[in-house]
Amino acid sequence: MSTTQPYVSVRNLKQHFPITRGVIISRKVGAVRAVDDISFDIPAGETLGLVGESGCGKSTTGRSILRLYEPTAGTVMIGNTDITTLSPEALREKRSEMQMIFQDSYSSLNPRHSVAKIVAEPLVIRGERDQGKLRRRVEELLDLVGLEPDHMKRFPHEFSGGQRQRIGIARALALNPKFVVCDEPISALDVAIQAQVVNLLVRLQKDLGLTYLFIAHDLSMVRHISHRIAVMYLGRIMELATYDELFRNPLHPYTQSLMSAVPIPEPKVEKSRTRLLLEGDVPSPSRPPRGCVFSTRCPFATDRCRQEIPQPRELTSGHFIACHNVDDPEVSPRINESRIAIVQSLEDASTGGPDRTFAMATGAAAPGAAAPGES
């Protein structure tokens, strides 16, 4: 899958939740197939972006990989250890290497604990009792995420959303993890603050050599942080590729519709662009459609799609796709036509852009702010 040794390697992971009926004698009447047979690798020091709409199983995937749920089937290798078979003691030992950043910074920080206590808690659980050491480590961590040392004594409600997310990041980093699952860490934040947090996560990855699984429902931010992107729909991975490949060459109809739905801040393009608008809603994961899970909404679906589940295959090097029709002589020309139109309107959007940037004010060629016409 990749030339470098993957740090995280997931194979045929399934996470089904039983639906039970009956109070005294509980019996299983069905299952919610939240995650159904997914496989991917994440090379060390890289980020895999996991994208999909609500209910597609992306957060469940993140949790199953850390064994916060007991996976129904499959293996999860994290740094040469299969964590699905670890004993509880060994798993606890392993947990310091793998951490999580949560979406909701209100409910993931204890409102009765000071920042110092929140950030130091992982260390305390690991048996650190030396107050001086704890204090120094907390200061170090707060500095790392761009907070002030005197924020230590404050409580979560005294911080803004972006700052609270920084506290969550500091806590996740306390035990020097190698792998961090970021579960929609920016979804609840304002745009300007989202950029701050994404920049921070990118910098931390470079400095500390972290491996990320970055979960999001928004393709545009994911693109910025991820090396490779996996698109999920109803518990399955539809397409996986490097971001450049995915944005130049979105082959799966679902990826195309997602990409064409992301709003672009370019009025002319946004009002006239080609979209692959989907009809209806995502089916229930307790009764997924037979065959391809996307077949009920796919504008290109054929009889084969409604019968047979498409297995992910590597179409070109590193580009995985689960679709019968991408190389079907009948249907693929239409899919290709739609792909060209969608990519074209995205490219149109990248030529424009505002004629003033912050870089112009500071004079310095601030990274990422090179404006057209500016030397």
Binding residues for other proteins (CB under 8 A): 53-54, 160, 162-163, 190-196, 198-199, 202, 217-221, 223-224, 244, 247, 257-268, 270-271, 275, 277-278, 281, 346-347, 349-350, 352-359, 361-362, 366-369
Between 86 and 360, name the residue whose CB sits nearer to other proteins: 360
Closest CA to 77 of 108, 112, 110, 41: 41
* E-only strand ranges, the chain: 6-21, 27-43, 47-51, 73-78, 81-82, 98-101, 179-183, 211-216, 228-233, 236-242, 313-316, 319-321
- Pick the closer one to other proteins by CB: 132 or 354: 354
In whole angstroms, the minimum distance from the beta carbon of 271 to other proteins comes to: 6
Closer to other proteins at the Cβ: 84 or 194? Answer: 194
Q: How far is the CB of 58 from other proteins (least distance, A)?
A: 12
In degrees and rounded to multiples of 5, residue 123 shows phi and psi of -70, -40
Distance spanning both ends of the chain, measured CA to CA = 40
Nearest alpha carbon to residue 323 among 341, 343, 308, 340: 308
H/E stretch holding 100 reads strand 98-101
Distance CA 331, CA 255 (A): 16
Q: H or E stretch including 198?
A: helix 191-208
Q: Is there a contact between 190 and 161 (Cβ–Cβ < 8 Å)? A: yes
Whose Cβ is closer to other proteins: residue 327's or residue 347's? 347
* Cα dihedral 42, 48, 52, 57 sign: positive
Q: 265 or 333: whose CB is closer to other proteins?
A: 265
Q: Please, what is the minimum distance in Å from the beta carbon of residue 128 to other proteins? A: 32
Whole-number minimum distance, CB 78 to other proteins, in Å? 29
Nearer to other proteins, 10 or 186 (CB): 186
CB 20 to other proteins: min, Å: 21
Among candidate residues 80, 10, 1, 75, the one with its CA nearest the CA of residue 237: 10
Helix (H) or strand (E) holding 256: helix 253-261
Nearest distance in Å: CB 85, other proteins: 36
Local structure of residue 309 (DSSP, 8 states): P
Nearer to other proteins, 307 or 362 (CB): 362
Cβ distance 210 to 223 under 8 Å? no
DSSP letter assigned to residue 359: H
Closest distance of CB 169 from other proteins, Å: 16
CA atoms within 13 A on the CB side of 222: 29
> For residues 24 and 191, which CB has a smaller minimum distance to other proteins in the complex?
191
Minimum CB–partner distance for residue 229 and other proteins (Å): 12
